[in-house]
Amino acid sequence: MADALHRLGLGTSPLGNLYAEVTDREARAVLDAAWESGVRIFDTAPHYGLGLAERRLGAALKDRPRDEFVLSTKVGRLLVPDPSGEGRLDDDGFAVPARWRREWDFSADGVRRSLESSLERLGLDRVDVVYLHDPDDHWEQAFGEALPALAELREQGVVGAIGAGMNQWQMLARFARESSVDVILLAGRYTLLEQPALAELLPLCASRGVDVLAAGLFNSGLLARQDVPDDATYDYRTAPVDVVGRARRIAAVCARHGTTLPAAALWFPFGHPAVTGALIGARTEAELRANVDAFAAPPPPGLWADLRDEGLLDAGTPTP
């Protein structure tokens, strides 16, 4: 299990107080439990809690052997002091004081400033991977300015690898096809529920040697429980009735094979050779350990065959 867990990483947006407050003690318990369980990939971003996730992650890792973990952060949103935010909470989904504001900036200077600030918050001397974060509306500047700046930092040995992280696959395919990215972070678009990235993006990455890190494996909550609730979330909104029904049908097949919906969701993306790792998020130590336990052993092969037979997976979809 330890070798498999080295392919499973921890995303830290919940530890930046996404939607609800997490105490420093609770966040540290999650990070320590992840390390103790064998997780060695950690992903963060300035966006997550206006720097809170980076600070918490850096504090938990500063005394760990630096060569034993892979750390990624992101650029594209600069954090700028905002005195007018005193006394109110961030309005972008994180339960933190709005003492800073985000400014989109994919310029070369913005990249360097963002990375320098991230290293300061992390309290570490380097990161291993830097992603362009959500450049959906900023293609020209991200491709023309930010990527060359990241490539220069890679050549200088300041960072080990560069890439882009998004909730869509189409622009990621452009990055994979037209640039020298090493890795992409694909959130929610290659999961047990849906695989729109399968036809074009993943084969492209495989052919060009671009690693894929899959995230959003539970589709923002829908696949996180064997018993799918009526008010489950999908893409950060209440899931439509038909989508809940599909998730429940998948869960029923999982139960017949002695496994669970979360376990199948965690293992599914590793069926594709382009996928080299996956990220999970956890708000509590109990959530973290439950996910690690769910990843303890792959589901039986018969599960995937039955999902295909019931029309819940396309015939050509690769599985573990």
Q: Which of 19, 48, 234, 236 is catalytic?
A: 48
Environment class of residue 219 by beta-carbon count within 10 Å: exposed (0-12), middle (13-18) or buried (19+)?
A: buried
What are the tens digits of pLDDT across the range 86-142?
889 999 999 999 999 999 999 999 999 999 999 999 999 999 999 999 999 999 999
Residue 5 has pLDDT above 80, yes or no: no
> What backbone phi and psi angles, to 5 degrees, belong to 115?
-65, -40
The percentage of residues in the chain with a pLDDT greater than 90, rounded to a whole number, is 95
pLDDT score at 236: 85
* Cβ atoms within 10 Å, residue 4: 15
Residue 78 has pLDDT above 60, yes or no: yes
Mean pLDDT in residue range 54-67: 97
Which tokens hold the place of 155?
């050549």
pLDDT score at 4: 57
What are the tens digits of pLDDT across the range 164-178?
999 999 999 999 999
Cα torsion for 304, 306, 310, 312, to the nearest 10°?
-20
- Mean pLDDT across the chain, nearest whole number? 96
What are the tens digits of pLDDT across the range 130-149?
999 999 999 999 999 999 99
pLDDT score at 1: 38
pLDDT score at 199: 97
Mean pLDDT in residue range 290-303: 93
Question: DSSP assignment of 245-261, as one string?
Answer: HHHHHHHHHHHHTT--H
How much is the pTM? 0.95
The percentage of residues in the chain with a pLDDT greater than 70, rounded to a whole number, is 98
The yes-or-no answer on residue 234 being catalytic is no
